[in-house]
């Protein structure tokens, strides 16, 4: 298997010997465990309040488990390598059973929720989503426990373009940058000068342009190189096969639109109405993904993307039928990693310093040797 193929396999480092070399050897937390919890909730409150204000969102409840038959769970990729936790609810001595799954993300559920909560064009929902992704390799910034601000906004067909996507991304960045300034004002230790602040503006680049810059590198190394040069970037067009024969990253076929034809600023043909915000993390000295988002599929691109991925059988699912029949709104949405964001804003070396979950003994012992103390 080529290095580029291996790079598409999924997130995480995949080797604890490699992680041993990656984790910082001179780390000291700038905040105590108690201060960290105070700062986490200060950032959380600020971000939720300002996301709602910037994007006209309403905070709503979100499911932890969904019915398998609904088709609303997210598979995160197109090859089935990250499958959800599933269990049987025998209910009424198996006369009225339910087969349920723990959500991996609320992407498709949120689009249905727009209709359920009566959202009009320009209105949307914000959720405090919790999920389990059991197939991750557990390292310093990947956990089986996932917490996200999953949001979704109703749009029209005229909004399905890169200019509108860019406008929304800039609003989100305004909130994240504001959260950094907010927690630094409350906790002056975070303004130590040891680590640089986030830039005021994002750099926008298409995945095809990124490949042109670094044609011989696999995508994670391309991402690392670009955030070393520009510390905060939004990469457009993730999922479509690029000039080298590989997508920038595998993306599921039934939520983000990665197939729609677009045009670069210099007139070249491109594809995709989605993307990721990535930053340079000065503590871990690595690329750091904060959010994946995009304009969602319409009936045409849903069918096109499922056909590309060999998954047309999914069209029978209730969610997919609702998209085909235009029974749910066109939308834009995304998921912003909560612990990922707190880790960055509070200048932490490990997700386990800001959230409580399970970690293998080897990782906990490795972290302790490096003065990184994960929560138990």
| Cβ count within 10 A of residue 265 | 10
Which of 345, 332, 25, 367 lies closest to 187, judged by CA?
Answer: 345
- Which one of 7, 48, 74, 256 is the catalytic residue? 74
Active site (annotated) includes residue 289: yes
Residue with tokens 């969610």: 319
| Integer Cα distance of 217 and 242 in angstroms | 13
Which of 21, 27, 29 lies closest to 353, judged by CA?
Answer: 29
- Which one of 7, 254, 276, 353 is the catalytic residue? 276
Question: Between the CA of residue 365 and those of 5, 192, 213, 248, what are the distances in Å?
Answer: 32, 28, 39, 34
Active site (annotated) includes residue 339: no
- Which one of 29, 143, 292, 338 is the catalytic residue? 292
275 token code pair: 């993307």
User: Which letter, b or e, does each residue of 50-61 get, where b requires 16 or more Cβ atoms within 10 Å of its Cβ?
Assistant: bbbebbebeebe
Where helices occur in the chain by DSSP H, the ranges are: 3-7, 16-22, 33-55, 91-94, 107-116, 162-186, 207-213, 219-229, 299-308, 318-324, 338-345, 361-369
- Which one of 54, 115, 289, 304 is the catalytic residue? 289
Q: Containing H/E element for 151?
A: strand 145-154
- Which one of 29, 148, 338, 347 is the catalytic residue? 148
Active site (annotated) includes residue 292: yes
Active site (annotated) includes residue 244: no
Q: Which are the catalytic amino acids?
A: 74, 133, 148, 276, 289, 292
């Amino acid at each position: 298997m080529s290095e580029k193929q291996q790079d598409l396999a999924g997130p995480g480092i995949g080797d604890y010997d490699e992680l041993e070399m990656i984790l910082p050897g001179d780390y000291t937390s700038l905040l105590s465990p108690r201060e960290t919890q105070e700062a986490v909730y200060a950032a959380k409150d600020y971000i939720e309040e300002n996301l709602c204000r910037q994007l006209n969102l309403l905070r709503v409840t979100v499911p932890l488990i969904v019915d398998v038959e609904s088709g609303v769970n997210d598979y995160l990729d197109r090859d089935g390598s990250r499958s959800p936790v599933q269990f049987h609810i025998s209910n009424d001595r198996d006369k009225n059973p339910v087969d349920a799954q723990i959500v991996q993300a609320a992407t498709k559920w949120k689009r249905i929720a727009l209709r359920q909560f009566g959202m009009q064009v320009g209105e949307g929902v914000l959720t405090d989503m919790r999920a389990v992704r059991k197939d991750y390799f557990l390292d310093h910034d990947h956990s089986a426990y996932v917490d996200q601000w999953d949001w979704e906004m109703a749009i029209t067909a005229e909004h399905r373009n890169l200019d509108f996507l860019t406008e929304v991304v800039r609003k989100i960045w305004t909130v994240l940058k504001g959260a950094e300034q907010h927690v630094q004002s409350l906790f002056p230790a975070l303004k130590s000068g040891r680590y640089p602040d986030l830039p005021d503006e994002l750099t926008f680049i298409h995945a095809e342009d990124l490949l042109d810059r670094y044609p011989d590198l696999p995508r994670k190394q391309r991402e690392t190189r670009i955030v070393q040069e520009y510390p905060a970037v939004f990469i457009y067009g993730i999922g479509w096969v690029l000039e080298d024969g590989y997508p920038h990253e595998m993306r599921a076929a039934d939520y983000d639109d990665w197939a729609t034809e677009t045009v670069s600023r210099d007139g070249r043909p491109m594809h995709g109405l989605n993307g990721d915000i990535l930053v340079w993390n000065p503590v871990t000295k690595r690329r750091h993904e904060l959010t994946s988002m995009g304009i969602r599929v319409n009936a045409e691109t849903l069918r096109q993307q499922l056909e590309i991925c060999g998954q047309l059988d999914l069209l029978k699912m209730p969610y997919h039928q609702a998209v085909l029949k235009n029974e749910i709104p066109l939308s834009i949405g995304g998921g912003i990693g909560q612990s990922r964001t707190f880790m960055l804003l509070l200048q932490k070396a490990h997700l386990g310093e800001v959230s409580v979950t399970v970690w293998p003994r080897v990782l906990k012992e490795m972290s302790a040797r490096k003065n990184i103390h994960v929560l138990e």
